[in-house]
Amino acid sequence: MNLRGLVNSITRVVNANVTATILRNIGADRKPGGVRIPTYGKFPIQVQVQSLSYSDLQQLDGLNIQGTRRAVYLDGAAFSVVRIAQKGGDLLIFERGLLPEGTTWLIVHVLEQWQDGKAGAAWAKVAITLQDEMLDSRILESTPSLDFSQPDNSQNLPGI
């Protein structure tokens, strides 16, 4: 049963889903001098942006995460920092003007992540924090689009 899909069909009446581009952090390239440059794969995704609940705010405060924050529900999996894999958090890029504060948001914490059954639909609730508008359009244009019909891509991106 796709529980997220069922609930989302009701919540969309009062809070529509929006399209964003997720930049999935797939590691980093090491440049001369030891500078690490993050690398991303990108794909469009439907998300629902909401305010954070009181308990979510308490949890983020306990982690000392500050800044302009929102909660996002999305189908699939999303990741914040994964230290053991040496990956930074995924980025969500929204169309200009969709969120008044800005377009580039970092996934800083996975609040909930579920999978409906063994091969069922996955969904997540993540906390995002507004980032400086530092993403150069050349980075976005040069980031390869991911094709999830290919098995080799899906093993790097579980749950999508």
Residue-averaged pLDDT of the chain: 78
pLDDT at 31 over 50: yes
- How far apart are alpha carbons 138 and 156 in whole angstroms? 24
What confidence tier does 49 reach under pLDDT thresholds 50, 70, 90?
Answer: very high
pLDDT in the model for residue 158: 41
pLDDT in the model for residue 134: 57
- Sign of the dihedral defined by the CA atoms of residues 158, 62, 60, 87, in that order: negative
- What pLDDT, in 10s, does the model give residues 66-109? 778 899 999 888 888 887 877 788 999 998 888 878 889 999 98
Query: What are the structural domain ranges in the chain?
Result: 3-145
Alpha helices in 43-147 (DSSP H): 54-62, 137-142
Residue 69 in contact with residue 44, Cβ under 8 Å?
no
- What HEC string does 88-108 produce? CCCEEEECCCCCCCCCEEEEE
Question: Which stretch, 42-51, 53-62, 73-82, 84-93, has highest mean pLDDT?
Answer: 42-51
- What pLDDT, in 10s, does the model give residues 129-142? 998 765 555 556 66
